[in-house]
Structure 1
Amino acid sequence: MDSRFPFVDWFRHSSPYVNAHRGKTFVILIEGEAMASSRRGQLLQDLALLHTLGVRVVLVYGIRPQVGAALETDGITPMRVGGRWVADRQIMDHVERIAAIQRLELEAQLSLGLPNTPLHGVELTAVSGNLVTAKPLGVRGGVDFDHSGEVRRVRSQAIESLLAGGNLVILPPLGYSRTGEIFDLDASEIAQHVAVSLRADKLILLGESAGLHDDSGQLQRQLTPDEADTLRERATPGSELSRHLGAACGAARHGVGRTHLLSWHDHDALLGELFTRDGIGTMITQNHYEQLRQAVLDDVGGLLALLKPLEASGMLVARTRERLEHEIEDYIVIDRDGMAIGCAALHGYADARMGELACLAVHDDYRRGARGETLLEEIERRARRQGLTQLFALTTHTTHWFVERGFSIASPEALPDLKRETYNQARRSKVLLKSL
């Protein structure tokens, strides 16, 4: 029965992520375009919600469009080289002023606790400071970049101490040198270095693009750094896409578990990415978000939940928890962020050099994507490694699927003796046979 309140169902399904994210460290970059838009208030409310749920939040913010507008008003055209402007003293005056104003406005909005507002009753302490040290870019290609700099070191212990004290940490796109100078830094570079230095669980980059898409326009939900590097090489140097991909790949290669590319234009992007299984944007990670692996005893509960609808429909014979636990070494699963969305088993009959492909199942929400074929291919590989020469399956509903994948219809007489003796005549299952 459908819920009268869809939010309630969403809330129930999000509870595992509330538990999973509690106590974790997220470094979140909000680009300057978002800071200048009407969406800023909503984004800050979402950050406050994360903080309330126990997430340790470091917020890095950009100011590029604000500084660009101020320079245009004053008739100043900065020199740009490789996507970076040369920050002379005149430009730095604007950078420092706007960074300070933005920080004060962020602190003010995160202090908002009026009745009938999302932050009502939330006491949130937002702090900043000289937490990033910088060095000048220097002279490159004959160009003196003056006060344009790069990250030298992140004062990770100081940030850790602030987070441990229950504070939300705010970092402007500035760095401080040991000689007392201030340098203009790229916000995405700061976000990357902070995430790596803190060994953050997530780096979240909120920009213009709603993730990455392939040539057909299909959203690419997960990429490795090597795959993302190919896209970065095509991007315009200095563009947001180039900067975000550089930060994401760098973070992933240096120990940050997951980097998420999201659009700040999407009202649901941040919470939708963090509290739903499939997410909304693109994730870049060295680890596979969805993986095929050997089943273990901890998977039994997930297998029961996966198989129950198919057993109720008569597609599969019911299996007890005890039977699954006893046969767990025969099973493989497709694990998607901790949920078993597909499974299959190989029961060997060594005397007959045959194997039974059993319990092949894929969750309804993930039927597309050739996961059934992936499971079948792995079962066939395992059967060959065990020295089996034939694979058989029993089915009442999916005969054509097996025939299309090289199986042929056979009689129960073709089954191994032990299986033939337990063949259920009442079910009248089709026997499918495939030579390996």
Structure 2
Amino acid sequence: MTPSDIDTTLSAQDAPEFAPAQFVRWFREVAPYVHDFRGKTFIVAFGGELVSDNALNTLVQDLSLLSALGVKLVLVHGSRPQVNEQLKLKGYATQFGRDIEPTSNEALECAKEAAGEIRLDIEASFSQGLPNTPMSHAQIRVISGNFVTARPVGVIDGIDYTHTGAVRKLDVDAIKMIIHQGAIVLLSPLGFSPTGEAFNLAMEDLATSAAIALRAEKLIFLTQNKTVFNEDGSVDTELAREDADKLLASGTLDEDTSSFLTHASRAVKRGVARAHLVPYTLDGSVLLEIFTHDGVGTMVVEDTLDDLRPATVDDVGAIVQLIEPLEADGTLVPRGRAVIERDVEKFTVLEHDSVIYGCVALMPYPEDNMAEMACLIVQPEWQGSGEGEVLLRHAESKARAVGAKRLFVLTTRTSHWFMKRGFVQGGISDLPKERQAHYNRSRNSLVFIKKL
């Protein structure tokens, strides 16, 4: 449930669809995300197609809500369809596509006009103050300026690209000063050289460069419906960057999705924590992507695959060392070296400089379409940098790969950690029958289950 599901023009008593318990549960679920993202920088990028499809006002309302929650926003807009329309109206045959193309003097003037019109539309949308929306009584400043220094693409394979440019640098200090004051920075797809020349920039390149330069927490590309899909037609909600690069190399993606995914991968490789492809055609998609666990688009992450690998028999000793302290204090049920050796192929380990500092085990129950996650451990001195999240995501991915629809854990000490990550408390009767038979009632472990 999202806030848009609630009819704000009625009181809670008058609105028949208002369910207090659902609202409270939703509010509690999103609270950790609100806390985590306050003060973080998000780059939100969209093409001129979003403006043409009359989706700007709805997006601005959602972005205003993010700003009110303390997220620092930099918006990057494109203008390709508007430029093409201007060129067509003026009788020029040139039309811009996804590929880099030369920008003539005439096309540059059209690009300036289109960018100016869209910038004014965006500023107007943020100035509405519509009642019964996140814009009500809002005073959100949108600031644009000459933040982008550009360079000419130059001559490639004998073709002079004239006024087509690439990002040379951004005025990071100025942008940070503005967003730290609570305003939103708006970047148009134009850049200027130190000699005063203007250059036509690709929105995707500008957004990616901004995310890298500002060390953004998220880069969000809003697309018409260009996300990565699984074979069954469902959205692939999370991709490790290495997997994204393999998918790009396969040549199976359409041109638009390939372009967005290429820039998302580049951003993550250069230090951006998360890059997203989110369809703006879905109402509230930005909020759903940010404030729900699985989201509605495709997220690219730098999963440290070099450090994450299947365990081998040679790793048994290191796994025992990880587990023993937790067995001693009662957090984990004692297993013994022999059991770990028997089940070692079910373990995955985190390794850095030949030192194993984390592990997780996955036990499938195919007859029940379930899997158990156990022994999720990260050495205390390595905790706090997301390693537990990496192991959890890996276990979820591995469980999906073996056909599991639900993932469960048994815990006596860490219930809150799992609850914050989408697990819901269940009972012994919810476990696979085989696992029920081996449930240790003397430990009285709590059961938590997550739908995959």
Structures share fold, TM-score greater than 0.5? yes
Offset at residue 3 of structure 1 (A): 7.8
Shift in alpha-carbon separation, 1:110–1:334, aligned structure 2, 3 A: farther
1:50 aligns with: 66
2:104 aligns with: 88
Shift in alpha-carbon separation, 1:19–1:31, aligned structure 2, 3 A: same
Offset at residue 374 of structure 1 (A): 9.4
1:212 aligns with: 228
How many Å separate the matches in 2 of 1:132 and 1:399?
A: 58
Q: Quick one: which amino acid aligns to residue 184 of structure 1?
A: N
Shift in alpha-carbon separation, 1:342–1:29, aligned structure 2, 3 A: farther
CA RMSD for the aligned pairs? 3.9
Q: Would you say the 8 A contact 2:84–2:95 is kept in 1?
A: no
Deviations 1:59-84 (A, max 9, x none): 00010011111111222122769812
1:344 aligns with: 374
1:270 aligns with: 286
Task: State whether structure 2 residue 253 is matched by structure 1 residue 253.
Answer: no
Task: State whether structure 2 residue 29 is matched by structure 1 residue 13.
Answer: yes
Q: Quick one: which amino acid aligns to residue 52 of structure 1?
A: A
- Aligned pair count reads 338
Among 192, 199, 210, the alignment partner of 2:215 is 199
Q: Would you say the 8 A contact 1:59–1:170 is kept in 2?
A: yes
1:103 aligns with: 119
1:242 aligns with: 258
1:316 aligns with: none
Q: Would you say the 8 A contact 1:212–1:220 is kept in 2?
A: yes
Offset at residue 118 of structure 1 (A): 3.3
Offset at residue 234 of structure 1 (A): 5.0
Offset at residue 104 of structure 1 (A): 1.5
Offset at residue 398 of structure 1 (A): 6.2
SS of corresponding position for 1:166? coil
Q: Quick one: which amino acid aligns to residue 42 of structure 2?
A: F
Deviations 1:112-148 (A, max 9, x none): 1243443111111110111111111111111111101
SS of corresponding position for 1:216? coil
Among 144, 147, 151, the alignment partner of 1:131 is 147
Q: Would you say the 8 A contact 1:257–1:287 is kept in 2?
A: no
How many Å separate the matches in 2 of 1:105 and 1:423?
A: 63
How many Å separate the matches in 2 of 1:399 and 1:122?
A: 52
2:92 aligns with: 76
2:390 aligns with: none
Q: Quick one: which amino acid aligns to residue 273 of structure 1?
A: E
Q: Would you say the 8 A contact 2:43–2:74 is kept in 1?
A: yes
How many Å separate the matches in 2 of 1:3 and 1:344?
A: 39
Among 298, 312, 327, the alignment partner of 2:330 is 327
How many Å separate the matches in 2 of 1:204 and 1:163?
A: 17
Q: Would you say the 8 A contact 2:227–2:278 is kept in 1?
A: yes
Offset at residue 400 of structure 1 (A): 5.8
Shift in alpha-carbon separation, 1:399–1:54, aligned structure 2, 3 A: closer
Name structure 2 gaps, 5 residues minimum. Answer: 1-16, 311-325, 335-358, 363-370, 377-394, 410-427, 445-452
Q: Would you say the 8 A contact 1:292–1:333 is kept in 2?
A: no
TM-score (norm 2): 0.66
1:158 aligns with: 174
